[in-house]
Amino acid sequence: MVATTAYTASIVHAVELVRLAKSVNPQVVTVIGNVHATFCYEELLSADHNVIDYVVRGEGEVTLPSLLNCLNAGEDPAAVPGLAFYTDGSVIATPKAPYIQDLDSLQAAWDLVEWPIYTYRAKNNARLAIVSSSRGCQQKCSFCSQQLFWAQTWRARSPENFVAELEMLSKKYGVEVAMLADEIPTFDRDRWVRILDLMIERKVGVKLLMETRVDDILRDADIMDKYRKAGVEHIYVGVEAGSQETLDLFKKDTKVEQSKQAIDIINNADIVSETSFVLGMPEDTPESIAATIELAKHYNPDMAFFLAIAPWPYAELYPQLEKYVVTKDYRKYNLVEPVLKPTNMTIDQLEKELGRAAQQFYMYKFQNLNKIRGWKKDFMLAVLDIFINIHIWPGR
């Protein structure tokens, strides 16, 4: 069996991978999973059922072994929940598999990780682990895949189980930095405070990079010192838009003024702040993008990313944006290359404006480095070095 994961921007390469597997050995059983396959299995199997044997819909930790056991026993895969496959000229989808409730029971195979390739360049190539303490999101952001994939549910590992894993990663594999893959690790404040307390009590020493919501930062303004003591060094919050109208369209459930407040709280706690702005909506113009750049400067995060709207074909917002979509080449749905054409801009203009937005923001940040103190100044200098030597001149 060859099984691979596939989000939207990687689905073309995932299909190429299983096609290669079949060309090497036609008897190989091929499987594709993750968010794009979960929602677009009919499209995938209709077009490429000659190389895709099964699609795993939803979580795979139970479904994939169940499929293996079923095939080894010579039984009917139609009895396995969470699958889709092509048979007798049509696509078959089995009932949805239940979500895994006991996340503490899932142990990652850390011994299989190729550790030398996981480094955090901004901290002298410190060893990096990507970890997960919870799964799900109860928000309703109309452009996002996560609330759909998790059906607006949220589950979490116990604080003790999660912190014990960080301790093990530090001691056994030399991990110095851990990036949380969670959408909202702070959703349950009591649980999150327990994690922070354990990190402090046990002196774990692993620095945390994380994402959370603006309103969770506002909620936790009184314990940001605890965030810092526990090793939280970098927090991303999604601002996404500078107008309340667009925020409401995105169903962010936040107010424009709250974004500035949250970023100020993070900055004042001596934690690296990061945010993003989604550009390229139908009504965008060079003038509106310029205004967003100025807003980003006003918000003053340490890092900001200007993303091209990528309307996933399964997202709630897609029907409203479909007529503006200019390509169905999913490789371009990477939040960098524009796939949607604004009414009053060409794609080339939009691409140029996206690059200019990042350039202008970071020129502003680096011209004001003298206003940054302590370790964050060293961090920003490291980021500047990365931009110059990797992103601006990638061939160097």
pLDDT-wise least confident of 10-24, 152-166, 237-251, 363-377: 237-251
Domain positions in the chain: 2-93, 103-392
CA 138, chain centre distance (Å): 16
Could you please state the CATH topology (level 3) that the domain comprising 103-392 is classified under.
pyruvate-formate lyase- activating enzyme (3.80.30)
pLDDT-wise least confident of 116-125, 181-190, 349-358, 386-395: 386-395
Report the pLDDT averaged over residues 79-107. 96
The number of beta carbons lying within 10 Å of the beta carbon of residue 330 is 23
d(CA 335, CA 344) in angstroms, rounded, equals: 20
d(CA 329, CA 347) in angstroms, rounded, equals: 15
In sequence order, what are the residues at sequence separation of 6 or more whose Cβ sits closer than 8 angstroms to the Cβ of residue 51?
15, 18, 19, 21, 22, 30
Arithmetic mean of pLDDT over the chain: 90
Task: Answer for the pair 314, 40: CB distance below 8 angstroms, yes or no.
Answer: yes
Report the pLDDT averaged over residues 50-57. 97
* Stated pTM of the model: 0.89
Which residue has tokens 């994961």? 5
Residue 246: what pLDDT? 55
In sequence order, what are the residues at sequence separation of 6 or more whose Cβ sits closer than 8 angstroms to the Cβ of residue 314?
36, 39, 40, 145, 148
Residue 393: what pLDDT? 39
Radius of gyration in angstroms for the set of CA atoms belonging to the chain, rounded to a whole number = 22
Residue 295: what pLDDT? 87
Report the pLDDT averaged over residues 369-381. 88
Asked if pLDDT for residue 24 goes beyond 80, the answer is yes
Asked if pLDDT for residue 251 goes beyond 80, the answer is no
d(CA 307, CA 1) in angstroms, rounded, equals: 36
Report the pLDDT averaged over residues 54-73. 96
pLDDT-wise least confident of 160-164, 195-199, 300-304: 300-304
Residue 239: what pLDDT? 73
Banded pLDDT at 145 (limits 50, 70, 90)? low
pLDDT-wise least confident of 5-14, 57-66, 148-157, 177-186: 148-157
Report the pLDDT averaged over residues 200-220. 95
Q: How far apart are the first and last CA of the chain?
A: 39
